[in-house]
Amino acid sequence: MRRRAICAVAVVVLLAAGCGRSSSEKAGEAVDQGGTATTAPAANSKCEGVALEATDVGVTPDTITITVMADTGSPLAPGLFQGNIDAVQAFAKHVNDNGGVGCRKLVAQAWDSRLDPTEAKNGLITACQTSLAMVGNNALFNPDMTPLTGCPDKAGAPTGVPDLAALAADVNELCAPVTFTVQAQVDKCPIQSGVRPITMGLGYWKWLLSQYPDAKGIYLVPGDLPTTVLGSMPILESAKRGGIDITDAVKVSGRDEQSAYTPRVQLLRNTGGNFVYNGSNDVAMVNMRKEADAQGLDTVKVWACSVSCYTEAFKSQGSAVDGTYVSMQFLPFEEKDKNQELANYLDNVSSPSSWGANAWQSSVLFQQAVDKIVETDGPNAITRANLLKALQGIDTFDANGWMAPKPMKGMAACMVVMQIEGGQFHRVFPEEPGTFACNPDDLVQIDIDPAAAAAGLQ
């Protein structure tokens, strides 16, 4: 029996290696985003009769250029975050077909960071030279933000380039003064080494425990990158704090074959576990489930995953993944009729994904900040400095109702839980479509040294 419970979001920082598709975009390439910008819908009266000017790097009288950077071309994970590129470029076409942004046509150029810090830095340098802002980024290795934070504007002042990231997994990007992310920010910046307070949500765990009071089992840690391992440690601790009996945490790779899960299933059997949480990608969960079935292990009551399992590839596995739970912070694609921004995304992107959803949401944040500048000071006030100021003035963001309301420098206390059955995801909590389950009381502070916690993992 499903029962209502107090809920908050469980934050996830993870690697989705192997679930993307190959990139067809070259580094720095912009594609035709259509449309002719005449008036920005949110500021029509401010555009009429104005002689538009080139106000800053990336802003001409006719266009505003932004850069979306994502890991798409690495041999390690081909097409990993292609959804980010697709979403931002589709957003540009969508807004251009509906009047543009800031009284101008929006141009979105792409940069492939290739899971390579050198390529990520080159992307920042390119954005500094060409773009008003970076929007929808998802580059896991981004350790040197100085090309962005110290980037000169048109007047030569070191204003920096606004970074509206879909995901800032690297703490150097997360804590850069120019970064604003639609993902939850659980750490306080600057991030200190050693034990530090991290804000986490217990809602997902409490809800699962309300359905399965004897939940006991293992946590699959995304082990491909140091950032994903460290980011998993507070999540692991929050699961324990939420009441789940985690007996073991084991590293997995997005490249592991099913045979690599043989000892992991045996570990689950030996400890009498009935619970598996996958913090890695959808491929990891598929392999774990198929190997459990191959070994005849049928005692698992709870197969739980992060939003990384909310993919078409996962759905295509049919009965092999039936019953898996997924938690997310935005309205699911199945509820297109409940939110216009969600519908906009699905109508304009041929291969929707959770990463793409975050990138589209970042694009909405960019549009709202630019509209705010135009409404207040007119279309010739669009500069990097004013964009940073506008972003700093946005306390809470919800992507026009598609996301749970989120503090710009914090995390939402809300979630939706989905479960897959018969190849389709279905909402299980809260039951009413178009809603979130929220309770700020389930946001707790966890004092932890992620590096020390990760040191003992195998």
The pLDDT tens digits of the residues spanning 70-120 come to 999 998 788 989 999 999 999 999 999 999 999 999 999 999 999 999 999
The pLDDT tens digits of the residues spanning 258-282 come to 999 999 999 999 999 999 999 998 9
pLDDT grade for 44, boundaries at 50, 70 and 90: low
Fold topology of 29-191+336-397: Rossmann fold (3.40.50)
In eight-state DSSP terms, residue 330 is B
Output the pLDDT for position 171.
87
Output the pLDDT for position 41.
47
Output the pLDDT for position 227.
79
pLDDT at 31 exceeding the cut of 60: no
**Domains of the chain by residue range:** 29-191+336-397, 196-334+407-454
The pLDDT tens digits of the residues spanning 293-349 come to 999 999 999 999 999 999 999 999 999 999 999 999 999 999 999 999 999 999 999
Mean pLDDT of the chain: 90
pLDDT at 27 exceeding the cut of 70: no
Q: How far is CA 329 from CA 11, 233, 243, 279, 426, in A?
A: 9, 20, 21, 16, 15
For the chain, the 3-state helix, strand and coil shares in percent, each to the nearest 5, are 35, 20, 45
Output the pLDDT for position 300.
97
Among residues 300, 230, 277, 286, the alpha carbon closest in space to that of 254 is found at: 286
Same fold, 29-191+336-397 and 196-334+407-454: yes
pLDDT grade for 56, boundaries at 50, 70 and 90: very high
Please say whether the beta carbons of 95 and 89 come within 8 A: no
Backbone angles phi, psi at 441, to 5 degrees: -65, -20
The pLDDT tens digits of the residues spanning 183-207 come to 888 888 988 889 999 999 999 999 9
Q: How far is CA 62 from CA 53, 58, 101, 261, in A?
A: 8, 10, 10, 55
State the distance between the two ends of the chain, measured CA to CA, in whole angstroms.
37
In eight-state DSSP terms, residue 25 is P
Output the pLDDT for position 29.
53
Q: Which residue has the higher pLDDT, 431 or 35?
A: 431
The pLDDT tens digits of the residues spanning 380-392 come to 999 999 999 999 9
pLDDT at 121 exceeding the cut of 50: yes
Output the pLDDT for position 33.
64
CB-based contacts of 93, cutoff 8 Å, min separation 6:
33, 34, 35, 348
**E-assigned strand segments in 297-408:** 302-305, 325-328, 396-397, 406-407
Provide the percentage of residues in the chain whose pLDDT is more than 90.
Answer: 80
Collapsing DSSP to helix, strand or coil, 453 comes out as helix
Written as one string, the DSSP assignment of 56-125 is BTTB-SSEEEEEEEE--S-TTSTTTTHHHHHHHHHHHHHHHHTT-BTTBEEEEEEEE-TT-HHHHHHHHH
**pTM surpassing 0.95?**
no
Among residues 350, 308, 281, the alpha carbon closest in space to that of 85 is found at: 350
pLDDT grade for 32, boundaries at 50, 70 and 90: low
Output the pLDDT for position 188.
86
Output the pLDDT for position 365.
98
Collapsing DSSP to helix, strand or coil, 335 comes out as helix
Q: Which CATH architecture has domain 196-334+407-454?
A: 3-Layer(aba) Sandwich (3.40)
pLDDT at 43 exceeding the cut of 70: no
CB count within 10 Å of CB 130 equals: 18
pLDDT at 20 exceeding the cut of 80: no
